């Protein structure tokens, strides 16, 4: 399927993703990249919160926070695959809502329903991703438009069929996935299942990005045509990214319906996920950024919200602070990438990097070019 091999030069002639290098170099380089800076941001926010209110430093509080942030971190990792391949997935929120309603309407009676309904939900996730991916790659509709369309259609279908709210909560066994955890653990009291899920998925994600699939994905996002000429079947690579994105939204939905119950969750989730990815230093337009940094971006954003609460910023001003922060974070990361690029002294005449005023919007050009 993919013929990009590890020893092959990066199609765009730039540095390989950092994880391709030895650990020492990786750490050193890490601090200087936006993908690494986000971890510093997480640490700074965490310390600020704990200084402002030491209660948040309590291990059991921290681990609960880590657990409840899992769904958005998972969604961010899924969105990462699409963004790094140069596309966009706006249908994520609608997928979350769909899954919440399926769970609430179909798994409300007995524990025996849990597994079949979970399977159904994951199948729905695959289907939506497949539609997004094929419409983007084969019909050549920009993914921004495809996923905007599937967002509208999916929200509409679900609300038409099932109403604006699910009939009820799924059974407790189902909700345990998002609400429960391993009890009686020393120090932290409980290890929430969502935290375990996000850690496992993060490990899988990091592994997948080292595989030929991951390299081909980054290559496709960096220069779709070059990747194609290099023998990558770009349409299938990108379609898989969309499926991963939809599946991650489905997993987020499964956790959310457990965490908070079956109500109208999901609207706007795609914007949260995209914001998290970008705060994680991943470049919109594809080809650059690390998957774990996307998850870290989600943690940074959620920590920011907690900090705003702790600092008692009036609730009406919070969107403004959020807006300011994401602009500053991305502006900073644009600068860092740029410096990194200049240091690498690899001129790249046909690609407008983030150092350019108008980098094309990901997912705005036809999915796969010719």
Piece in contact with another protein (CB under 8 A), picked from 28-36, 195-203, 290-298, 306-314: 306-314
Both tokens of 46, joined, read 């965490």
- Number of residues located near another protein, criterion CB under 8 A: 101
Q: Which of residues 49-78 bind another protein (CB under 8 A)?
A: 53, 55-56, 58, 61, 64, 68, 71
Q: Minimum distance between the CB of residue 211 and another protein, rounded to whole angstroms?
A: 26
Distances in Å between the alpha carbon of 264 and those of 95, 147, 246, 330, 331?
12, 20, 18, 30, 34
Q: Which of residues 321-350 bind another protein (CB under 8 A)?
A: 321-324, 326-327, 330-331, 334-335, 338, 342, 349-350
Q: Is the dihedral of CA 79, 211, 288, 35 positive or negative?
A: positive
Q: What is the rounded CA–CA span in Å between residue 13 and residue 20?
A: 15
Q: Which of residues 123-152 bind another protein (CB under 8 A)?
A: 135, 139-142, 144-146, 148-152
Both tokens of 182, joined, read 């391993």
Is residue 184 near another protein by the rule CB under 8 A? no
Q: Which of residues 192-221 bind another protein (CB under 8 A)?
A: none
Q: Which of 160, 184, 187, 347 binds another protein (CB under 8 A)?
A: 160
Q: Minimum distance between the CB of residue 274 and another protein, rounded to whole angstroms?
A: 7
3-class DSSP state for residue 67? helix
Is residue 48 near another protein by the rule CB under 8 A? no
- Considering only CA atoms, which of 136, 149, 213, 147 is closest in space to residue 368? 136
Our CB check for another protein shows the closer of 108 and 206 to be 108
Our CB check for another protein shows the closer of 208 and 364 to be 364
Q: Which of residues 75-104 bind another protein (CB under 8 A)?
A: 90, 104
142 within 8 A of 224, measured Cβ to Cβ? no
Q: What is the rounded CA–CA span in Å between residue 5 and residue 38?
A: 29
Our CB check for another protein shows the closer of 211 and 369 to be 369
Cα angle 174, 178, 182 (rounded to 5 degrees) comes to 100
Report the chain's C-alpha Rg in angstroms: 20
Our CB check for another protein shows the closer of 139 and 204 to be 139
């Amino acid at each position: 399927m993919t013929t990009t091999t590890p020893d092959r030069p990066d199609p765009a002639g730039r540095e390989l993703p950092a994880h391709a290098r030895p650990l020492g170099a990786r750490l050193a380089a890490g601090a200087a990249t936006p993908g690494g800076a986000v971890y510093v941001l997480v640490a700074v926010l965490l310390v600020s919160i704990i200084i402002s209110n030491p209660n948040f430093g309590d291990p059991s509080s921290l681990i609960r926070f880590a657990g409840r942030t899992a769904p958005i971190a998972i969604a961010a990792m899924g969105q990462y695959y699409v963004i790094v391949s140069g596309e966009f997935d706006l249908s994520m929120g609608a997928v979350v809502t769909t899954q919440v309603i399926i769970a609430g309407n179909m798994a409300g009676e007995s524990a025996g329903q849990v597994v079949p309904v979970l399977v159904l939900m994951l199948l729905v996730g695959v289907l939506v991703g497949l539609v997004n991916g094929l419409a983007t790659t084969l019909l050549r509709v920009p993914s921004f438009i495809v996923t905007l369309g599937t967002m509208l259609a999916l929200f509409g279908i679900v609300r038409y069929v099932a109403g604006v709210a699910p009939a009820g909560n799924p059974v407790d066994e189902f909700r345990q996935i998002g609400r429960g955890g391993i009890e009686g653990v020393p120090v932290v009291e409980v290890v929430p299942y969502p935290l375990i899920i996000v850690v496992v998925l993060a490990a899988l994600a990091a592994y997948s990005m080292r595989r030929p699939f991951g390299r081909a994905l980054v290559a496709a996002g960096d220069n779709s045509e070059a990747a194609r000429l290099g023998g990558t079947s770009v349409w299938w690579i990108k379609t898989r990214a969309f499926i991963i994105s939809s599946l991650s939204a489905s997993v987020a939905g499964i956790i959310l319906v457990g965490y908070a119950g079956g109500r109208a969750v999901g609207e706007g989730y795609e914007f949260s996920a995209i914001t998290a990815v970008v705060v994680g230093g991943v470049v919109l337009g594809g080809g650059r950024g690390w998957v774990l940094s996307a998850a870290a971006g989600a943690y940074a954003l959620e920590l920011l919200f907690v900090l705003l609460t702790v600092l008692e910023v009036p609730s009406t001003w919070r969107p403004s602070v959020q807006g300011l922060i994401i602009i500053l974070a991305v502006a900073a990361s644009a600068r860092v990438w740029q410096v990194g690029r200049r240091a690498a002294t690899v001129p790249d005449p046909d690609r407008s990097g983030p150092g350019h005023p108008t980098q094309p919007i990901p997912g705005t050009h036809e999915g796969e070019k010719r």
